[in-house]
């Protein structure tokens, strides 16, 4: 069985912490891929992908993602499922809350991937987010600064949901 690729940068603290927690809870069959040094071949070999990203400044991806995405711009991800997670701060960045998650979702959808792992927007207070899709987010959004008490439950439920959507037992 092919493994699940877990892509994020260890240089982004909250994203890395969440990635480590996802890997620990997932168990066997998941492999970390450092987005700082990743290439197309590193992601193509996986059955499905979990992508982690924070949002920088006013709704931007970190440089590691900005440098990686052009390498895969001509790739065909048809038939590949992708789940995306990221931390956000509703108080400090209410007009670009977790935009990085939305940016990655749209990018991978344009490459043919099926983005799974949608979560409810209920319980969040912000003005705008590119991660919105109707009454849901396109992935898991946690706010470890303003809602740390909700992170564990949100993460646990999301991992269970993504395993089901990936067809992992």
- Residue 11, in any domain of the structure: yes
List the beta bridge partners of residue 5. 31, 49
Query: Which of 41, 45, 35, 37 is closest to 86 using CA atoms?
Result: 35
Chain centroid to CA 86? 5
List the beta bridge partners of residue 85. 52, 140
CATH of the domain at 67: 3.40.50.360
Count CB-CB contacts under 10 A for residue 144.
15
Cα–Cα distance measured from residue 35 to residue 73, given in angstroms and rounded to the nearest whole number: 15
- Residue 60, in any domain of the structure: yes
- Residue 169, in any domain of the structure: no
Cα–Cα distance measured from residue 32 to residue 42, given in angstroms and rounded to the nearest whole number: 10
Range of the domain at 43: 2-164
Tens-binned pLDDT, residue by residue, of the chain (169 aa): 479 999 999 998 999 999 999 999 999 999 999 999 999 999 999 999 999 999 998 899 999 999 999 999 999 999 999 999 999 999 999 999 999 999 999 999 999 999 999 999 999 999 999 999 999 999 999 999 999 999 999 999 999 999 999 999 7
Cα–Cα distance measured from residue 145 to residue 87, given in angstroms and rounded to the nearest whole number: 9
């Amino acid at each position: 069985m092919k493994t699940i690729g877990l892509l994020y940068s260890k240089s982004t603290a909250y994203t890395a912490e969440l990635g480590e927690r996802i890997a620990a809870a997932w168990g066997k069959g998941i492999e970390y891929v450092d987005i700082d040094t990743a290439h197309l071949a590193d992601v193509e070999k996986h059955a499905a992908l979990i992508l982690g990203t924070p949002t920088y400044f006013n709704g931007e991806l970190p440089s590691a993602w900005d440098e990686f995405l052009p390498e895969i711009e001509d790739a065909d991800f048809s038939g590949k499922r992708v789940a995306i997670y990221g931390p956000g701060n509703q108080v400090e960045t209410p007009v670009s809350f977790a935009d990085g998650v939305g940016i990655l979702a749209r990018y991978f959808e344009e490459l043919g991937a099926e983005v799974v792992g949608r979560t409810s927007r209920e319980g969040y207070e912000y003005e705008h987010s590119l991660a919105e899709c109707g009454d849901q987010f396109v992935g898991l959004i946690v706010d470890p600064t303003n809602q740390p008490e909700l992170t564990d439950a949100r993460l646990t439920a999301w991992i269970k949901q993504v395993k089901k959507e990936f067809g992992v037992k």
